[in-house]
Amino acid sequence: MKYIVLIIDGAAGHPLSDYGGKTSLEIARTPNLDIMAANGRLGLARTVPEGMEPSSACACMSVIGYDPVIYYKGRAAIEAKNLGIDINDGEVLFRCNLVTIENGIMKDYSAGHITTAGAVEIVQTLNDKLGGEDVIFYPGTGYRQYVKLIGRPETLKAVCIGPHDIPDMKIEEYLPHGEGSKFIRNLMRRSEPVLRHHPVNIKRIEQGKNPATTIWLFWGCGQVPDMPPYREVYGINAAMTSGVDLLKGLARMAGMDILEISGVTDGPDNDYRSQAVGALNALQNHDMVIIHVEAPDELGHSGDARAKVEAIEMIDREIAGRILNYPGEVRVLVMPDHPTPVDLRTHTGEPVPFLMWGKGIPPGGSLRFTEKEAAATGNVYEQGYKIMRELTGGN
């Protein structure tokens, strides 16, 4: 038996008034997912436990079968695992986004989805100008960068809000605040003159793109959680493909192999076909592959309903279609990790639809893979991480 998990990040959402009160999943043409829905089992799963942040870190941990209440210690810690950044006693790691602030408003949480190459140049300059014995900047992917603070444990007590949660809003009341925030705010403020005339930003402005005007620190952490290996928990040799450091970090924490597939990115330029072919080929040497696609989430954050729908349709055509035609015995789980409603442009924590299809999964009579169809089944996992146990047959 082979297992395939398709995580359509942020695909769930709210009804859109401009589209007849339909959600992105309802609007999208998804014939392959619809076939799976008609011949498989739908339901809802709560991937974000009550009281926890509706982040992909927490939610994806549930999807792959680990209880976030036990193992979630902070998103930056998971990303640090993938990047090989050690966090020792007395050290704190923060996610450090490159963002665009204009007239005191959060114009763009991703600095126009700045390229990794451009971001690396900026991080090198930040280290030269602001780094030292107590501050070290680390490059990540795209706008997602990191900074380690040494000898500043009080910064973990600061209240820090992610920039993606405050689109087009005045930043003043959302800046880091409370105990331990003074050093963080000062570092953010000091980054502004460094970035103002940076060659990468000058070029971006000339090209009509948003520049990185400041750094924004959030998701601080002080330790990397220990998780038991996937093979030990589920008896399965698993591999993952993703375009983001977070999911790769989760994979490393779980002892999974990471598939390096050309063309896999964190946005709508993702090569969906290549990701699907590479993942399914990996089943020759693995019991399970996890295919994580970030694009719907990024487009939900951008508030682009049409592009989010198009991304879902691409996933259906290029990935779900190939999964549907995979030869041999297979069980498949398809689900978002959390909703990213286009109207809110940020994550929410309500339950998400899931679809289970394949050998030994009886049809439940649903018509489509949508929030409404999933809710109508009455099949709800209040602890979403337990769905993996059912998929794998109790291994």
**Are 113 and 269 a contacting pair, CB within 8 Å?**
no
Which DSSP symbol is given to 221?
E
Show the tokens assigned to 276.
Answer: 């699907």
- Averaged pLDDT for residues 311-319: 98
Q: In this structure, what is the dihedral angle of CA atoms 209, 217, 296, 8, given to the nearest 10 degrees?
A: 150
Per cent of the chain over pLDDT 90 is 89
Is there a contact between 313 and 29 (Cβ–Cβ < 8 Å)? yes
pLDDT at 74 over 80: no
Each residue's pLDDT tens digit, 223-245 = 676 799 999 999 999 999 999 98
Residue ranges of alpha helices (H) inside 197-337 are 199-206, 230-234, 245-253, 272-281, 295-302, 305-314, 321-324
**Residue 151 confidence (pLDDT):** 94
Instruction: Give the integer Cα–Cα distance in Å for 348 and 387.
Output: 20
Task: Using the predicted structure, report yes or no on whether residue 394 has a pLDDT greater than 80.
Answer: no
Q: What is the pLDDT of residues 264-292, one digit of tens each?
A: 999 999 999 999 999 999 999 999 999 99
What is the pLDDT at residue 295? Answer: 97
* Three-state SS at 285: coil
Which pLDDT does position 64 carry in this prediction?
97
Average pLDDT over residues 205-220: 96
Output the CA torsion 151→153→154→156 (10° steps). Answer: 140
Q: Please state which of the ranges 23-32, 83-92, 336-345, 356-365 shows the lowest mean pLDDT.
A: 83-92
> What mean pLDDT is predicted for residues 251-262?
96
Render pLDDT for 175-195 as a digit per residue (tens, 0 to 9): 999 999 999 999 999 999 999
pLDDT in tens, 79-111: 888 888 888 888 999 999 999 999 999 999 999
Check if CATH label 3.90.1150.10 holds for domain 2-69+226-391.
no
Confidence of residue 77 (pLDDT cuts 50, 70, 90): confident
Average confidence (pLDDT) over 56-74: 92
Average pLDDT, rounded, for the chain: 95
The number of C-alpha atoms within 13 Å of 273 and in the hemisphere containing its C-beta is 0
**pLDDT value, residue 395:** 44
Q: What is the pLDDT of residue 362?
A: 94
Measure the CA–CA gap between 157 and 178, rounded to whole angstroms. Answer: 7
| Cα gap 80→300, rounded to integer Å | 25
- pLDDT value of residue 328: 86
What pLDDT score does 239 carry?
Answer: 98
User: d(Cα 333, Cα 77) in Å, to the nearest integer?
Assistant: 27
CA dist., res. 247 & res. 57, Å (int): 8
Q: Residue 68 above 60 pLDDT? A: yes
Sequence spans of domains, the chain: 2-69+226-391, 82-221
Residue 294: its pLDDT value, please?
Answer: 97
pTM of this structure? 0.83
> pLDDT digit string (tens) for 133-164?
999 999 998 999 999 999 999 999 999 999 99
Query: Residue 108's pLDDT is what?
Result: 96
- Of residues 159, 190, 191, 166, the one with CA closest to residue 104: 166
